[in-house]
Structures are given as C-alpha cells and as structure tokens.
Amino acid sequence: MNNTVIKKDAIGDPLSRVDGRLKVTGGAKYSGEYKVAGLTYAVLVPATITSGTIIAVDTKAAEWAPGVLAVITPFNASKVPGYQADAAKPIKGLKLFNDNKVYFNGQPIAMVVADTFERATYAASLVKATYEKQPFETNFHRNLDKGVVPQNGNYKDYVRGEVNAYKNAPVQIEQEYTLPSEMHNPMELHVTTAFWDGDDKVTLYTKSQGVKGSQRAIATAFNLDPTNVQINSHFVGGAFGSSLRTWPHEVAAVQAAKMVKRPVKLTLTREQMFTLVGYRPQTIQKIGLGATADGKLVGITHESHSQTAVYEEFTENSVNVSRFLYNSPNANTLYKVIPLNVGVPAPMRGPGEATGSFALESALDELSYKLNLDPIELRLRNYADIDLERNLPWSSKYLKECYQQGADAIGWNQRATQPGTNRDGEWLVGYGIGCGAFGAYRSLTQAKIKLLPNGTVNIQSATSDIGPGTATAMVLIAADTLGLPADKITFELGNSAFPVAPTQGGSATVSSVGSAVHDACVALKQKLYVLAGKSENSTDEIDYANILQQHNLPSLELTQESKSGADGQKYSMYSFSAHFAQVYVHPLTGVVKIKKVVAVVDAGKIVNHKTASSQMIGGAVGGIGMAMTEEAVFDDRYGRYINGNFADYHVPVNADIPQIQAIFIDKADTIINPVGTKGIGEISLIGVAAALANAVYNATGKRVRELPITPDKLI
Ligand code: MOS
C-alpha cells in the first residue's frame, strides 16, 4: 500500500456520501431502531383542553389494560430534580408532569408505559382527565395588539438615520405580508430511547442536532454529571431545526425509564409533531420602502409581529435582513411577539431570515414596477458595498455575480417588463428574483485524529448530521489537508463522548467542525514531519505509515481545538443568495406550474459540489413548500390544528418540483476559517418564496402577499 503524500486538492470534489450505502440499504440505524434488552414503550396522552388546570386523571382503566407497567401523571410522577423552582439551573421550556397546568391543546398530561407500543397506545386511549377550563387565545390575527417586545435574548429595535424616512420619499411602497405557521415535518419522527445504569448514569438514543447540547440538558434536568449522560444520535432522518433543542418528551422518556426501571422508547406521532417540536411561527410583516425617482433607496422600515407560546418566548431574526442587505441611508426595524395558547415555535430552516426576506424581497419587487425598473437593476443601484448596520466591511460578498449568473441561467432576458403579457399557449409566463443573506457563523470545536499503522486515519467530533453529508465533507477536508485518498479516512459523529462540537444549526457545521478537522490534520502532519526529522512545515513527500513503523508506534493520536481568531470582529460575515424562478400560471384555474428554479449562492468555498448541490435543491424544495403549499390551519374554537397530518398539510411532492439548478460562486473566504467556507444550509431556502411570488406577479399581475400562493388567490 502506498501512502505517499499526493497533492490531491480534494476540496471541491463531487464525492458521493460516505454513508450513502448504509442509508439506502437500511444499514443506517436511527434513534428508534436500537434493540435494547427489556425495552418498554411510552405513549403520551394529550390534553383535550387549551388552557386550564387538571383536576384529576382517571388512570384505572389504563392501569388494568394488558401489558401496562405505569401510567404517569402530574399526580404521581417522580420528580425531575432540575424542574424544581429552587434548582440552581432550571431547564428551559415546558416541564411535563411537574404541575397540573395546561397551556395548549395537545400538551401531554399523562404518559403510559407498556410492554408493547400497541398496548401502550391502547391504554393511553383509556386515560380520562377532568379539567377546570380557562379562557384561551389562539388566534394570531385577532391578538396583534397584544404584541410585546421580546424580553429574552438579545433582540433590540433598530434605527439608522431617521425613523420611517420612506414616508418622505418621492416613490413609496407600504405593504403587509403574511405567513402561516409551517411545520418542519422531517420524515423521521422524533424518538427517544432511554435506559439507566443505576441511579446516576443514563444513555439515550435520541433524534438530536446536537449531542453535546442534549447531554447538557439531560444532565441539568436530572442533576447528573454530564459525563454520566451518554447521548447517541448516529443518524437523523431530517430535522430542519426541530431537533436543535432538547424537548420535554425527551426528558419524559428518561423520567419514565427511571420510574419503571426498564429501558423506555418514546415515539411522537405525526400529529404530536405538529404541537411538541416547534414550527415556523405565523408572522405578519409591514414593509415601507422609499426611493428617489431614479431608484435609490431613501428609507426601509420593517415591522414584524410573530406568535409565541404563553409559557415560553421564541424569537427569530425576521427583521434583521432589512438593516444591511441594501444601501439605504435610513433604516428602522420593530419586532413584537404575541403569546398565545399554542406550542412554542422553533427555528425552521432559514428561520427568521427566510420569513423576513419574503417580505423585503416582495416589497422590493413591488417598488421595481412602480419605478419602471428591472428588479435586478434596482438591486444593483442599491448594492451595499459595506455592512451599514455594523459599519464593517464584508469578509467577502459576490452577490453581483449571483445576480448575473442566475439571470443567465433562468433566461431573464425572456422576462416581460409588463406583467401578464408573456404567454405560452394558454399559460401566462413569469420570472422572479428573491435574495437573502445568512450569517457565516463559527464556534469552538475539537476534533480527535488517529493515524493507524495501515495508513488509515480516523477522526471523531461530537457533531451531528441531519442529512447534509457532514462526514463526507469532513473526509474531503481531511483528504485535502493530509494529501490522502478519501477512502483512507473515516469520520465519526453523533456521540456525546467525542470531543466538543456545536449543535448542527445555523449553517455553521462545515465552518466549525471543518476548521477543527483541518487544524487537526495540520497538527498531525507537523508531528509526522518532526518524527521524520524534517521541519514541521516541510512540504516534502513522506510516507505516514512508514514513519509510524520506523518509530515503532502503534498509532499517532491528537486532539485539536479550533475557533475564530480576532479578525472575526473586523468584518461582517454572511453567505448571500439570489434565487430565480420561472413559472407558468393558468389564468382560468390559477394553477401554478413551476418550470425552473435557479439558486445561486456565494457561500465561500464549496467543499463537496455533489452534496452541496443536493443541499441547495433540498432548500429550494423547502422554499417551494413555503411559497406554494404549506400552511398549518388552526380551529380557534378548540385551539387545535385541523390539518395535523401529511394528508391535509401539503408538503411538495415530486410532481410539484421542477428542474432546480444550484450554482456556486465558489470563492474561498479565508477570513472566516482556513477552509474558506461560509455555509449553505439556511441560505438555500432564504429568498426562494419571494422569487416565486415575484414570478407569479410577473406572469399574472396578481400580487400575493399572503402565503401560500394557492390557486384560489390567483383567480
Ligand atoms: Mo437550522 S433552522 O439552524 O436547524
């Protein structure tokens, strides 16, 4: 075997997923698929009221049902130590079975544990609660006046220059844009399998975007040393933000395992996933834009109202994009949340940035027609050469190149400047653009690297993979840095015992974990050069395996930590996107056929063109769902969703999806990290909904400001 260093330039290669075979053959094990000896099954019983107090829970019939081991209610649950009011670090969120309060319909009020899933499900149907009902509010639009400025987190209203300067400009737009709540709906249900070893050690197989975060949360809830909490999340079947945090049902599974002294598996139903694991909150946004007659922005005002839960505040960055994306001397933003008797929202792919960019990019499109200016030309006239919000230069920005390449790929020169005038047979044809930005984040990460005598390298880090191909990207970075073929390298993740890594979220994994992998490979190489008697920064070719043999070493191992340098404070760092859509709209039926979507992204260096393209396509599909089909519908009489299932909540299917082309500018940004990446997970969705709404307007002359764009809104 020849392990000689080869200059290989692996970064950018279209490497197929290293775990692809496992995934398509059923070899990949998800959290619900681990066989644990003596496993029992927990099923949650949802509240049937929307606000009030549980007076009593009649558990007799359930307890007598076959196979039942326990029926857990607020009246008999063993205490979760971290839930107590006087605990030093009370854990975040709803505390199930801790008291008798009900805050929303569907909140679990009891949990049945039985020897099979079917028996637990049947027994759960026999549990009957008596309540004292209280008045509740679930209607977002009727409660807009109850909005409060977020109290937690770091949200602050923002003013640059004058407030509402748009009102004094010669050309103005003032419009409202409405989004319904949207559900993450990953294919894999949320599942937790938990088992204790004595009273102070617990192991979980759980759907998690961050095994270290889950470890901290469970350790806090049960007052354990974090090293006594083992979290495994080797494969995750999609999450989109729904597994960024540890949810109450995960704590409940651990609590149940403690009470029945057996391993417990708790699987949420699809319907429970509409209430217990977050969603993109419904939002109403007002945009004011003012411009000079030649299309220079004078002012941008962006106001957003969004729903949250009465028991926990959720906030996101819906208005922030309006502060920096365009070169307006005046900008101001306001944001309020409205607490309702609903489950708490969560970040959902592209989170607030996707919500905010739908409003801003729709309004900009409206302004372009008022000015009689091409929408791309309007964006060029207001191109931000620096970040005016922070008054910092960009670490890199190639949005102009995105406009150009996207316009060429979609055929922008075929776009009619007058809406409703471009026909192909019976169909109206339209083109639209929508843009976005998402912060290029990076967090402290460690990677452990081990060189074995056969010349193979194993790397471990406690990151997760919710589907983008994390291990594959890490293998390419290591192959490139070490100069080894990719098939000599393995990367392991999803285990809380591995060295620290951030939660997979905010498009930061390749930047954070990739940097640690890169730095660990550099450190390993340096050690090998020194062992070979060369300068540690030598570029000579050396044979790694030979060096181990010569020094009689069974292996060579090290752990490397990596984080941003001080330069991080001197630049504003974002990924940028320009999404383009071509649509056909039938004037009689209002049916929209999406013909083509082009997503152009400046996300720094692209590590793997194959998986990155897949990720961009997946994000565009999410954006198509947001624009065209997805809407969680509430019945405010009962405080319940009426479409909490896949039949009535419409996610796009293959027949809805056109040709989607991903284009990468692919220029390294080494200010952010040594590999030069900026992140694509969120930006792949941010701007898509506006591109589609703007294309529909261009085709029909009908401006839809309330998503989704269903046919009834076009006839
Ligand atoms: Mo993403 S919404 O940070 O999982």
Residue 671: CATH number of its domain: 3.30.365.10
* Cα 274 to Cα 279, 314, 574, 689, distances in angstroms: 8, 16, 32, 22
Q: Is residue 15 situated within a structural domain?
A: no
Task: Identify the band that residue 565 occupies on the pLDDT scale cut at 50, 70 and 90.
Answer: confident
Rounded CA separation 325/354 (Å): 13
368 domain-assigned:
yes
Identify the pLDDT of residue 92: 80
Nearest C-alpha neighbor of 609 from the set 472, 406, 407, 482: 472
418 C-alpha to center of ligand 1: Å? 38
What pLDDT does 13 receive? 86
- In terms of domains, do 195 and 170 share one? no
**Average pLDDT for residues 691-705, to the nearest whole number?**
98
In angstroms, what is the C-alpha Rg of the chain? 27
Mutate to test the pocket of ligand 1, among 182, 245, 317, 349 (most ligand atoms within 8 A of CB): 349
Q: Separation of 63 CA from ligand 1 center, angstroms?
A: 40
* Of 579, 567, 572, residue with least CA distance to 384: 572
Q: Which atom of ligand 1 is nearest to the CA of 347?
A: 2
Q: Where does a domain end: 533, 563, 593?
A: 563
Q: What angle do CA 131, 134, 138 make, to 5 degrees?
A: 115
Asked if the structure places residue 7 within a domain, the reply is no
Helix runs in 372-398, H state only: 375-381
Q: How far is the CA of 536 from the centre of ligand 1 (A)?
A: 39
* Single residue among 563, 579, 606 that ends a domain in this structure: 563
From the CA of 470, how far away is ligand 1's center (Å)? 15
If you measure from the C-alpha of residue 355 to the centroid of ligand 1, how many angstroms do you get, rounded to a whole number? 14
CA–centroid distance, 678 to ligand 1, in Å, is 15
In this structure, the answer to whether residues 486 and 388 fall within a common structural domain is: no
Beta-carbon contacts of residue 647 (< 8 Å; ≥ 6 apart): none
pLDDT band at 431 (very low <50, low <70, confident <90, very high): very high
State in Å: Cα 668 to ligand 1 middle.
23
Are 396 and 429 part of one and the same domain? yes
Which are the contacts of 655, defined by CB distance < 8 A and separation ≥ 6? none
Q: Is residue 479 part of a domain?
A: yes
When pLDDT is averaged across residues 402-422 and rounded to a whole number, the result is 98
pLDDT at residue 5 tops 70: no
DSSP 90: P
Query: Which residue puts its alpha carbon closest to atom 3 of ligand 1?
Result: 505
Ligand 1 atom at shortest distance from the alpha carbon of 507:
3
Please compute the mean of the pLDDT values over residues 153-170 and round it to a whole number: 94
Within 6 A (CB) of ligand 1 lie 209, 240-241, 244, 347-349, 351, 505-506
CA 315 / ligand 1 centre spacing (Å): 13
Nearest to 331 by CA among 161, 198, 460: 161
CA dist., res. 270 & res. 158, Å (int): 39
Token reading at 54: 């549980």
Please indicate, yes or no, whether residues 467 and 592 belong to a single structural domain of this protein. Answer: no
Poorest-confidence range of 1-5, 488-492, 682-686?
A: 1-5
CB atoms within 10 A of CB 29: 14
Same domain, 580 and 661: yes
Distance 197 CA to ligand 1 centre (A): 33
Contact 506, 441 (CB under 8 A): yes
Of 184, 208, 244, 316, which is best to mutate to test ligand 1, by the most ligand atoms within 8 angstroms of its C-beta? 244
Q: Mean pLDDT for the chain?
A: 96
One domain for residues 482 and 507: yes
Same domain, 263 and 284: no
Predicted pLDDT of residue 3 = 38
Question: 348 C-alpha to center of ligand 1: Å?
Answer: 6
- Exposure string over 499-514, b if 16+ CB within 10 A, otherwise e: bbbbbbbbbbbbbbbb
Catalytic residues: 682
Asked whether the predicted pLDDT for residue 1 surpasses 80, the reply is: no
Q: Are residue 170 and residue 117 in the same domain, yes or no?
A: no
Q: Domain tally for the chain?
A: 3
Residues 449 and 427 in one domain: no
Atom of ligand 1 nearest to the CA of 505: 3
Please tell me the total number of residues recorded for the chain in this structure: 715
Compute, in angstroms, the gap from residue 618 CA to the centroid of ligand 1. 14
CA of 478 to the centre of ligand 1 (A): 25
- Do 306 and 429 belong together in one domain? yes
Q: How confident is the model at residue 10 (pLDDT cuts 50, 70, 90)?
A: confident
The reply to whether 107 falls in a domain is: yes
Q: Mean pLDDT over residues 419-436, rounded?
A: 98
Instruction: Tell the burial category of 329 from Cβ atoms under 10 Å away from its Cβ (0-12, 13-18, 19+).
Output: middle
Torsion over CA of 6, 11, 14 and 19, rounded to 10 degrees? 90
**Predicted pLDDT of residue 87:** 67
What CA–CA distance (Å, rounded) separates 237 from 186? 7
Percent of the chain with pLDDT over 90: 95
Nearest CA among 99, 267, 148, 275 for reference residue 638? 275
Asked if the model's pLDDT at residue 371 lies above 60, the reply is yes
Q: Which atom of ligand 1 is nearest to the CA of 681?
A: 1
- Residue 177's nearest CA partner among 652, 696, 689, 699 is 689
Which of 182, 315, 682, 686 should be mutated for ligand 1, with most atoms under 8 A from CB?
Answer: 682
Report residue 12's pLDDT band, with 50, 70 and 90 as the boundaries: confident
In this predicted structure, the answer to whether residue 111 has a pLDDT above a threshold of 60 is yes
Comparing 676 with 12, the larger pLDDT belongs to 676
- Put simply, whether the predicted model's pTM sits higher than 0.95 gets the answer yes
Mean pLDDT of the 480-507 span:
97
- Same domain (yes/no): 481, 609: no
- Residue 249 and residue 219 in contact, taking contact as beta carbons nearer than 8 Å: no
Structural domain including 40 reads: 34-134+187-238+243-274
| CA within 13 Å, CB half, 19 | 24
Q: Which atom of ligand 1 is nearest to the CA of 351?
A: 2
Examine the pLDDT at 85 and tell me if it is beyond 80: no
Ligand 1 atom nearest the C-alpha of 242 is 4
The stretch 634-648 carries a mean pLDDT of 95
pLDDT in tens, 585-623: 999 999 999 999 999 999 999 999 999 999 999 999 999
Nearest CA to ligand 1 atom 4: 241
Q: Which of ligand 1's atoms lies nearest the C-alpha of 346?
A: 2
Q: Are residues 418 and 538 in the same domain?
A: no
pLDDT of 242 reads 98
- pLDDT tens sequence across 291-335: 999 999 999 999 999 999 999 999 999 999 999 999 999 999 999
Ligand 1 center–CA 507 separation, angstroms: 7
Residue 6 pLDDT more than 70? Answer: no
CA atoms within 13 A on the CB side of 291: 25
Output the pLDDT for position 8. 59
Query: Where does a domain end: 499, 534, 563?
Result: 563
Q: Give a yes or no: residue 11 inside a domain.
A: no
Q: Which amino acid is at 329?
A: P
List Cβ neighbours of 608 (8 Å cut-off, separation of 6 or more).
12, 13, 14, 15, 469, 472, 473, 476
237 — pLDDT class (breaks 50, 70, 90): very high
Q: What is the pLDDT of residue 4?
A: 37
Domain assignment present for 148: no
139 alpha carbon, distance to own chain's centre: 26
- Bridge partners of 68? 114
In a domain, 540, yes or no: yes
Residues 231, 218: contact at Cβ < 8 Å? yes
